[in-house]
Amino acid sequence: MITLRPAEARGHANHGWLDSWHSFSFANYFDDKHVHWGPLRVINEDRVAAGRGFGEHGHRDMEIISYVLEGALGHKDSMGNSSSIVPGDVQRMSAGTGVQHSEFNYNASGATHFLQIWIIPDRQGVEPSYEEKSFPATDKQGRLRLAVSPDGADGSVRIHQDARMYVGLFDGSEKAELPLADGRLGYVHVARGEATVNGKPLKAGDALLYDAEPLVTIERGIGAEVLVFDLPRMQ
């Protein structure tokens, strides 16, 4: 079964300095049909105004991934990490037993547009850790590039869960497929542009949820940037 989750069906909050769309229940937005999909707990599409951001706050027992679409996202945390990530970078923070961090828009000329993704870990109480890697457009054009995995395969960042995130860029006749093993779930999120996914035309913000489906197929992209998740079921 493949289920469409249209962009406009997501939760929305506009705080002036932050314009945020929530694919799953988050903060004041609750939808009992969209709390999580397997261990995929959050996809927030955030636009943060220049010079603004999230002050220091805490997390624990969550795998937190940031993926920048435009601008630059500054990060500081209680582990001593300080960095700024830009389009092409994937940042992973395992909150584990607890970590404090802050995030700010380091793009002085305009908003920083990014996706914040939370994945529920397969165990609690791990030691907090941080990792970031860059995946150039040439690695993603016309294909699905593994960016997040449980074992760091193919140079991906490593998380504490049997889940994988792929990223791809698609234009024109480019096409990519990703098999889903028996018993696995899939989730496709179009970050920008347009693409046809398993025969369904999707626009930015749209998503497809896969249950007992063998294959994800992406084609006919128009400036498309697509994230694909291969996920376990949760008890």
Low-confidence spans in the chain with pLDDT less than 70: 53, 55, 235
**pLDDT score for 57:** 75
In the block, residue with structure tokens 């779930």: 185
**pLDDT score for 235:** 67
Q: What is d(CA 53, CA 103) in angstroms, rounded to the nearest whole number?
A: 6
- Rounded to the nearest 10°, the torsion over CA 47, 51, 54, 56 is 160
Q: For strand 145-149 and strand 157-158, is the pairing parallel, antiparallel, or unpaired?
A: parallel
Report, at the CATH architecture level, how domain 2-231 is classified.
Sandwich (2.60)
**pLDDT score for 42:** 97
Q: What is the pLDDT of residues 35-53, one digit of tens each?
A: 999 999 999 999 999 887 6
Give residue 159's identity as a one-letter amino acid code. I
> How do the domains of the chain map onto residue ranges?
2-231
Do residues 87 and 40 lie in contact, with contact meaning Cβ atoms separated by under 8 Å? no
Give residue 114's identity as a one-letter amino acid code. F
Instruction: Report DSSP state, residue 128.
Output: P
Cβ count near 19 (within 10 Å): 16
Q: How far is residue 12 from each of residues 21, 124, 183, measured CA to CA in Å?
A: 5, 30, 32
Q: What is the pLDDT of residues 151-194, one digit of tens each?
A: 999 999 999 999 999 999 999 999 999 999 999 999 999 999 99
Please state the φ and ψ torsions of residue 6, each to the nearest 5 degrees: -65, 150
Length in residues, the chain? 235
User: What's the distance, CA 129 to chain centroid?
Assistant: 18
**pLDDT score for 51:** 80
Prediction pTM value: 0.95
